Structure 1
Amino acid sequence: MERGKQLCAWGAAVLIFVVLMVVTPAIPQSEEYHNFADQRELFLGIPNTLNVISNIPFLFVGVVGLTLCFYRNYFRLQGEIWGWSIFFLGVTAVAFGSSYYHLKPNDARLVWDRLPMTVAFTSIMAIFIIERVDEKTGTTSIAPLVIAGILTILYWRFFDDLRPYALIQFLPCIIIPLMAILIPPMYTHSSYWLWAAGFYLLAKVEEAEDKQIYKWTNHIVSGHTLKHLFAAMVPVFLTLMLAKRDIEPERRSLLQKWKIYWIRIKENGLKAERLECEYSEVSTTV
């Protein structure tokens, strides 16, 4: 029965993907993408210096995350260890792949920038399935999701069409916050997922406004450099979450917790109004 549901889910996902590929036009990679605002060589003879060295935080947080995966027992399920290890390997690889690309931006090098990011995106999806839906389904989906992500990079490189890659990149940005809000978590500190999603959203805005931010800051820092720093905050928040979290005693979704919190605020407000009315009556009587 469970296997049938899994096959239906995968079948539906493939069908939706095929329909989107049929009804939407191809999205070629623009050469203008490589024309970043800040192309200064500031020191050590490093071209595009700030866009290169702003990738260093990915290396540090990736190594710390991998250490957490194996140094202490932060996980209840074996699949979690695999998922998080692949995620932090992807984050660590971003430091090298993105730096390599920004030394000489072009399509051939962009592959090595996007590849580790895609591995990180897809492994996060598998982690969420493990923690919030079903361990077995999530664990068995790690390899297919990561391979699907890699295939989107190859498809873009050989057919100059970004549609599959865009789907793999932006779908988790929608699904993960929704799942974080609606599905009861296994662990505490679930709100860190939303902080991570918020910083990633800001990173994408800064990427889109690369030249405008460079102008606003009087040519001090570009939007793309800030994009790297804000994107690095995503694994930072997730690493903090792993270090702080514990088993959730009451498995309530964030939405349920917010509802309870809102009800308590309303009840406290009503109590305060009653006390104020009683105090006014006493004052009038006296």
Structure 2
Amino acid sequence: MANRTVMVWIVAIVCFVVLMFVTPSIPQDQEYHNFADHREFFGIPNALNVISNVPFFIIGVIGIILCYYKNFFKLSLKGELCGWTFFYIGVAAVGFGSSYYHLEPNDARLVWDRLPMTIAFTSIIAIFIIERIDERKGTYSIIPLLLVGAVSILYWRFFDDLRPYALVQFLPCIAIPVMAIMLPPMYTHSSYWLWAAGFYLLAKVEEATDDTIYKWTNHIVSGHTLKHLCAAMVPVFLTFMLAKRDIITERISLFQVWKISWIKYKRYDVEAEKQTITYLSVPTEESCE
């Protein structure tokens, strides 16, 4: 098992190095800072993009408190408390960092928006490893993964290259839904992960259509503001999941659950069809005469 883990890390590092060599660098587009909604309210520039970050701070603080309040989340593994604490710290810090950035959007301030996000992304990956692969390896991976996230931000700032940060941000978007579906959970309410992933995907769409949504809503709200609100739903759903879940006695993946449900559905359809055919084939009195 140890040799397999080493091989996985070696393959991952080699793939990353090759990717860095064969792909061109991705500089930060300065047009990124030009958001659709520049309106000022109560003396706050870009007010809605700033204020819409408040939910991150609120849910982050609530999450941190509940992590330590009489084990409210029923965290049963050692590394879980550490992983979820870092996640909620990252979420709360997004509330400050993103607000600070949107007051005066530029590269220097964008660091404080993206750094907390990498803390949340990487801690979630560690949590999944703890829960669904190996508790010990997942616990030991928390700090290295957090460092990888921080290094990706530093690499972007020093070399103006977004490739490492893009990997840190988008790999979890693929890995988390796949692991949520394919790997057997140790807790109930695993489907909440998919709701969270769905809201994050919606947030990215809204971010990409910032100006379009602003025009569609007759300049009431921009896509970026809605992006903040949808992204804040990710920790909301995960908090609900933590509050409601219990340990599963028989671990089975969502994929297996769906497969069993589909088989039962198809079997029910076949049985219903047979019953219909049998019923229609019963002779009537007139036919007997």
Is the TM value for this pair above 0.5? yes
* Alignment-mate amino acid for residue 217 of structure 1: T
- Say which is worse superposed, 105-114 or 11-20, in terms of deviation: 11-20
Quote the offset at 1:197 in angstroms. 0.7
Q: Secondary structure, in 3 states, of the residue corresponding to 1:204? A: helix
The question of whether the paired residues in 2 share the 8 Å contact of 1:203 and 1:231 is answered with yes
With normalisation by structure 2, the TM-score equals 0.95
What secondary structure does 2:3 align onto?
Answer: helix
Q: Does 1:213 align with 2:213?
A: yes
Change (3 A) 1:169 1:285: farther
Deviation at 1:70, TM superposition (A): 1.2
Match of 1:101 in 2: 101
Which one-letter code corresponds to 1:263 in the other structure? I
Letter in 1 for 2:161: D
Counterpart in the other structure of 1:146: 146
Which residue is 1:62 aligned to? 60
* Whole-Å separation in 2 of the counterparts to 1:139 and 1:262: 36
Tell me what 1:32 maps to.
31
Q: Deviations over 1:12-50 (max 9, x none)?
A: 2111111110000000001100000000002x2010000
Answer whether contact 1:126 1:145 (CA < 8 A) is retained. yes
Structure 2 residue aligned with 1:53: 51
User: How big is each residue's C-alpha offset from its partner over 1:256-278, in whole Å with a ceiling of 9 and x where there is no partner?
Assistant: 00000001111111222233233
Aligned residue number for residue 274 of structure 2: 274
**Pairing 1:232–2:242 present:** no
Bigger CA drift: 227-236 or 72-81?
72-81
> Which residue does the alignment assign to 1:179?
179
Q: CA deviation at 1:11?
A: 1.6
Between the aligned partners of 2:284 and 2:167, the Cα distance in structure 1 is 67
Aligned equivalents of 1:264 and 1:188: distance in 2? Answer: 21
CA offset at residue 280 of structure 1?
Answer: 2.7
Residues in 1 aligned to 2:59 and 2:280: alpha-carbon distance in whole angstroms:
58
Q: Which amino acid aligns with 1:4?
A: N
Q: Which structure has the larger Rg? A: 2
Deviations 1:73-111 (A, max 9, x none): 311101011001100110000000000000000000000
- Paired with 2:58 and 2:267, the residues of 1 have a C-alpha distance of 46
Inter-partner Cα distance in structure 2 for 1:278 and 1:171: 53
Equivalences, count: 284
- Whether the 8 Å CA contact 1:6–1:137 is kept in 2: the answer is no
Verify the 8 A CA contact 1:188 1:246 in the aligned structure 2. yes
| Greater mean deviation of Cα atoms: 71-80 or 124-133 | 71-80
Which segments of 5 or more consecutive residues in structure 2 lack a partner in the other structure? none
Farther off after superposition, 271-280 or 94-103: 271-280
Cα deviations across residues 102-143 of structure 1 (Å, max 9, x unaligned)? 000000000000000000000000000000100011000000
% identity of equivalent residues: 69
CA distance, structure 1, for counterparts of residue 249 and residue 280 of structure 2:
43
Runs of 4+ more than 4 Å apart? none
- Match runs of 1:70-89 below 5 Å: 70-73=68-71, 74-89=74-89
CA distance in 2, matches of 1:57, 1:278: 59
